[in-house]
Amino acid sequence: MFAVLRLSRLSVRFADRVVVENVDLAVGPGESVGLIGGSGSGKTLTALAVLGLLPDAAHAGGSILVDGVDLCGAPERRLRRLRGSRIGFVGQDALAALNPLATVGRQLSIPLRRHRGLSRRQAGHVTAELLSRVGLPAGTGKAYPAQLSGGQRQRVAIALAAAGRPGLLIADEPTSALDPPTQAGILALLRDLPPADGGALPALLLISHDLAVVSQVCTRLAVMHAGRLVEQGDTAEVIASPRHPYTRELVASARELAA
């Protein structure tokens, strides 16, 4: 099966300390896969390895294929071209990710012009379309990030990630700082957001510590514990019949919170 993202024996180490070990994971076109685990499990480092944004002291090994091209050890110039065009990223802190000194419209126009070659006028039209797709009025383009609520900023961050029409969208704890009603809206947006040209849904890798969040969006789950993938499979099957003890703990905790 062709995979937009395929990790094979991915490892991340700091000097002689291995923090992510032998991760094998694939995300197909239009598929939504949840990578779930506790704090320190290695899930964010896995995402940073894909993006080529690991800390200087960290080193990745194995294979990181995006559209069949191995990015493990790729030069920064190539990675910079792919970030925003083939790979979109949404983090948990939209305020930190957005430029506080630039309007939303100006920030959205940058990937539209850089990755899609649009003129200033064309970028303006597509910016309005992107804002509409994420549930924000066109006037939001004139606002600065500090003038928006947390949920609105996260919607802008999703629009920014989608602006270059990436085939792969990585979202790392995108709802952890939001209240439950706002979380629901952001999750629905991640699940159903097509590119600005109305094309196919991007592949989604959703990273979270919250099983309830991931199960709302993802058709497949990959459970990470102590730097390793300990279980993966169809979401409903993993929740109904968890095999690994850590997965059973996650499912039991989620059921207690829902009770």
Residue 255 one-letter amino acid = R
At 185 the pLDDT is 85
Q: How confident is the model at residue 241 (pLDDT cuts 50, 70, 90)?
A: very high
Q: d(Cα 44, Cα 90) in Å, to the nearest integer?
A: 12
At 259 the pLDDT is 63
* Bridging pattern class, strands 168-172 and 228-234: unpaired
Q: Looking up tokens 């993006």, which residue turns up?
A: 51
- What is the three-class DSSP state of 116? helix
Span 5-258 CATH architecture:
3-Layer(aba) Sandwich (3.40)
Among the residues of the chain, which ranges form H helices? 43-51, 76-82, 94-97, 104-116, 120-133, 150-162, 180-192, 211-217, 235-240, 245-258
Domain ranges of the chain: 5-258
Q: d(Cα 214, Cα 179) in Å, to the nearest integer?
A: 16
The residue among 18, 19, 22, 1 whose CA lies nearest residue 10 is 22
Burial of 49 (0-12, 13-18, 19+ CB in 10 A): buried
Question: What's this model's pTM, rounded to 2 decimal places?
Answer: 0.92
Q: Are 211 and 250 in contact (CB under 8 A)?
A: yes
Average pLDDT over residues 63-79: 90
Helix H or strand E encompassing 66: strand 58-66
Joined together, the tokens standing for residue 44 give 């964010």
Higher pLDDT, 199 or 127: 127
